[in-house]
A and B are shown apart, each in its own frame.
Chain A
Amino acid sequence: MIKDILVCLEGSASTEAATRIAIGIARALSAQMAGLAIIDEPDIRAGAATSIGGASYKQERDDALVADAKKAADDWVALFEQRCRQAGVPARSLEIVGRPAESILTEMEAHHLTVIGRDANFRFETEAHDFRTLNSILHEAMRPVLLVPETTEPELNKTVLVAYDGSGAAKRAITSFAASGIAQGRDIHVATVDDNGVVGMEMAERGVAMLRAANVPAKAHNIVSVLSNIDALFKLAKELDAGLLVMGAFTRSRLRQLFSGSVTRGLVEQTEIPLYLQH
């Protein structure tokens, strides 16, 4: 059962949605929350090609950006604490100076679930977008991550779709999801995507069996479709009116992803509902 939720704080609309969803889960499970704000000083002060005479200007710029990042972190932490107080959820906050991916991965070890806005930019002082941080977390995290896009409804709804492909990550995702407490009282559907209907259905039934062993009832589906795996899953999620998609993250090696693409990356980029991911 989830008792400690980490929310990674920054200023995007998806992080706002993530905080909202995390508060909802914390209230339902009587969990406590921790808000983590990161001041990415290493990247701000990283060496850069400078012109002659530019070193002092770089230092001035670095000092200004670090001060700005610190102020932003203070504001986000204050807002997070206020929202938790208003919701009646026990919470504490942390401000860490360090590289975002490393800081989050270290802090995640101490929490049952980490909630992140899908479009969060933890390196906002130096980059317009921050795919690198999320990529590192999803590839290396040992604990589950709940990724929340901006378009998420205020509360997680009743229906959950579990994408199951039989991989180690998918099994870990089902196991941790079943134990999390989020599954209680929800309609769970396990789906595979396989042109061989019989094989696909058998796979889906194995997923259902894993959930049933944890006292979580579920239904099996196999999708046979001309659409890509990503589009097929989204189509089914829409048909079921699913409010959460559970899956193993990055089940293929990076080399295979290089050549044949990544379902996880596609789902992360296109999803309009939260993703529960476990590597």
Chain B
Amino acid sequence: MTTSTPTWAIAPFGLYLLLIATLPLFFGAFWEHNRNKLIVAALISAPVLIYLFSGGVGGGEVLLRTGVDYVSFIALLGALFTISGGIHLRGSLSGSSGANTGFLAIGAVLGSLIGTTGASVLLIRPLLRANERREYTTHIVVFFIFIVSNAAGLLTPLGDPPLFLGFLRGVPFTWTLRLAAPWALVNGVLLTLFTIFDRVILAREQRHPRRRSSTSPRGTSPVEPLHLDGAINLLWLLGIVVVVFVMGTYGTALFGDSYLRSVVQILGMVACAVLSLVTTKREIHLANRFSWAPIIEVAVVFVGVFVTMIPALSFLGERGASLGVTKPWQFFWASGALSSVLDNAPTYLTFASLAVGVTNSGGANLSVENLGALASHPTGQHLLAAVSCGAVFMGAITYIGNGPNFIVKSIAEQHHVRMPSFFGYTLWSFAILVPLFGIVSHIFF
């Protein structure tokens, strides 16, 4: 078995991330079918599999470990997706600035509990219904993406897939709570900015009401009080939190063997998902337009991510210090920049591995397989904090930086909200988020 990862072995990872970002754009009809996604994943993963089984660093053992992590990852995402799909918020609010801000604030907290995707899908339709009489609603959806779909997910491993990947690799469940200060700063500033924006726009709408042309039809749903259907799913959600927390904190003491611990965790999450399916009325799933298609797509695409990232992470762990990224603020911006155009989950692991390499160059002996050690290292923990914040926050910078961004955009467009183009949205995020992240970088990193 070789002891050093060859440089070529990282190419499939980079290529795969590039293909994930560009194939939907240029070959949309091809990429639409999960079968084709699986073919691409298999072709790109083949050289890595051959490398690992031919004595590559880590070999079959790291492949098995990665396979278990993959199943845990998909089990969590699938369970959260299933449970949030069983909760439906019926009725609407008033559409006032105060109500809108309150809604976004609730989303900012909920994101860390049920995941940014779950919180986004749960809250976006009621928010759109509340504002369907408004002329200008683009800013509401844009700030929703900033806050609920991204910044909200920083506080627990359930909040965002990258943080759960870190948890799977040993970062303690409660470790991300130390990021409460940047979480509060970013969400607080965004909520304040949103309130100002919304009030100014609302006042303008009231001063100059416009006649709508027949090309912008808007519904006029009757105003009815908010009502939560499928509340039993809150119990199954609590079940997920308990399973993940208990397994993460006491799993080793209870079960010793890490594979057994993972299996129990997976079974626990699957059990909560099954209970949700069994106890949720069909009408709720219909109202939510629940379908397995998104989670199947995630499962298929991430097969390739998990396989191809094995040598890439190993390479960064070995040689990370030589790449020039060594300070927390550099990790914040580098992981953030890449997260904004590539999915933030593999980006998090990439830079966490880089942080391991940098920390090891200072005399430590950490492993990319055990980020828990990095999280408790005196210097490593600051690098991991920077990577966590960069990956989570800056997923908001483009529509493709984080899963729920595009989902929220699609749902909004179905409700006839005029959403900015890819570059139009990026202008929004550059104008609002980048200066804010500059402040975060300056204060915390």
Contact = CB atoms under 8 A, between A and B. Distances in A.
Real complex partners, A and B?
Answer: yes
A101 B441 CA distance: 48
A46 B414 contact: no
A53 interface: yes
B214 A51 contact: no
Which one of B21, B28, B293, B411 has the greatest number of beta carbons of chain A within 10 Å?
A: B28
Contacts of A46: 28
A82 interface: no
Contacts of A59: 32
Contact of A10 (B25, B117, B215, B302): B215
A128 B343 CA distance: 29
Given A10-B215, A52-B20, A53-B407, A61 B414 contact: yes
Nearest to A61: B410
A239 interface: no
Nearest to A45: B28
Given A48-B28, A51-B400, A64-B414, A124 B215 contact: yes
Contacts of B215: 10-12, 72, 121, 124
A206 B120 CA distance: 68
A57 B407 contact: yes
A95 to B, nearest CB: 16
Contacts of B213: 11-13
Contact of B32 (A49, A55, A76, A124): A55
B31 interface: yes
A64 B427 CA distance: 27
| Interface residues on chain A, size class | 20 to 34
A75 interface: yes
Contacts of B343: 51-52
A51 B301 contact: no
Nearest to B32: A55
Interface string A1-36: 000000000111100000000000000000000000
| Interface residues on chain B, size class | 35 or more
Interface string B61-81: 000000000000000000000
Contacts of A13: 213
B214 A58 contact: no
B27 A56 contact: no
A48 B295 contact: no
Contacts of B295: 53
B399 A52 contact: no
A147 B28 CA distance: 36
B298 interface: yes
Given A52-B20, A53-B298, A60-B414, A47 B28 contact: yes
Nearest to A128: B418
Contacts of A76: 214
B24 A48 contact: yes
A121 B214 CA distance: 11
A187 B343 CA distance: 66
A104 to B, nearest CB: 17
Interface of B: 20-22, 24-29, 31-32, 117, 213-217, 289, 291, 293-295, 297-298, 301-302, 343, 398-407, 410-411, 413-414, 416, 418, 422
Q: Which 3 A-B pairs have the closest CB atoms?
A: A47-B28, A11-B214, A56-B293
5 contacts: A53-B301, A53-B403, A55-B31, A60-B414, A72-B214
